[in-house]
Structures are given as C-alpha cells and as structure tokens.
Amino acid sequence: MEKRTYFDSFDSHGWPDTEQLARYFLTEAGRRKFFAAGNDSWGLKAHGVDGTDNLQPFKDRIDIDLTILGHPDLGILLCYFKFDKRGNESYYSRGDLNRLREWVMTVHGDKMPVGLYIPFETAWGAVREFIETNGNLPRNIAWVAARDLPEGTFPEP
C-alpha cells in the first residue's frame, strides 16, 4: 500500500507520526499554523489497500482519500472517499445537519456546507484513527453518506 500526505509541511510518501499532527488540531498555535500559508485543505491517501497495490486504479485497486478542510471558526470538514471495483463510497463528517443550507467559502472558491464541520478536537480523533487503522473509515465520529445528503448540499461556486 502506498501512503501519501499533503498536510502543511508534510508533502511526502508515507504518513507522519500522529504526534506530529496532533498540535494542528489540539492547540491554538497549531490551528493558526493550519491556515498561516493561506491554505485550508489537506489530505491523506492510501492507494492499493488490502493487497491491491499491483492492480489497476479505478478497476481492481482499492484507493482511499481522506480530505481535511479547515475553517478557523467552524473546525474541520472531513471527506472520506473509497474507490474500488464495486464503485465509490463517499462519507462526510456529520456536524449540525440543520445547517446544511448555510455555506462557507473555501480558499479555493468552493462553497462548503456549515453543517458538515465538526470541532477540531473531534476531527483529530478521526484523523488519528484513520492513520492508525491504515485508512479504515473512522468509527469514533458520526458520518453521513454522500448519497444521503439532500440535493444542493454542495452548490456550484
């Protein structure tokens, strides 16, 4: 399995030790550093999960992405995407679903629903579990499947 990290100064193969990432979620100074470079999105990838690393992408290989979108006031929106021969699975962190029709603009110009943001500390538990379980969908937070979100949850920019 190939692991990739795109997270602040970690832009490399492999995943950093969880102790290196914890401060970004658990301390005020770390949260400021989250956004200091003018970015609000990061990610962890696992390609070739469950022994499928030698198989063809989008056919037999299993690939997983965990996208991390941050907002200084709202917290973190997590997106878990799993691609394999059966199709795609997409899940989002479940915040206050009553706020799905409220949006916040990302640095890259995308509108994201406020109702999918969760506190930094809560998100950290999910990110840590993702790393510790080699890309499994974390069970320590609530998720909502993309297919269960109402139409218009992600409006065009």
Helix (H, G, I), strand (E, B) or coil at 129: helix
Look at residue 75 in the predicted model and tell me its pLDDT: 96
- Of the pLDDT bands very low, low, confident and very high (cuts 50, 70, 90), residue 132 is very high
* Mean pLDDT value of segment 49-77: 92
DSSP β-ladder status, 41-47 and 87-93: unpaired
DSSP letter for 16, please: -
- Of the pLDDT bands very low, low, confident and very high (cuts 50, 70, 90), residue 65 is very high
- First vs last C-alpha separation in the chain: 35
Q: E strands within the chain?
A: 2-7, 10-13, 41-47, 63-71, 75-84, 87-93, 103-105, 111-113, 143-145
pLDDT in tens, 70-112: 999 999 999 999 998 877 899 999 999 999 999 999 998 899 9
How high does pLDDT run on average in the chain? 92
Look at residue 142 in the predicted model and tell me its pLDDT: 97
pLDDT in tens, 5-25: 998 777 788 988 899 889 999
Q: For residue 20, what are the contacts with CB-CB under 8 A and spacing of at least 6? A: 10
Q: Which residues pair with 109 in a beta bridge?
A: none
Q: For residue 91, what are the contacts with CB-CB under 8 A and spacing of at least 6? A: 79, 80, 137, 143, 144, 145, 146
Q: Count the neighbouring beta carbons within 10 Å of the beta carbon of residue 77.
A: 25
- Amino acid 8 reads D
Look at residue 157 in the predicted model and tell me its pLDDT: 64
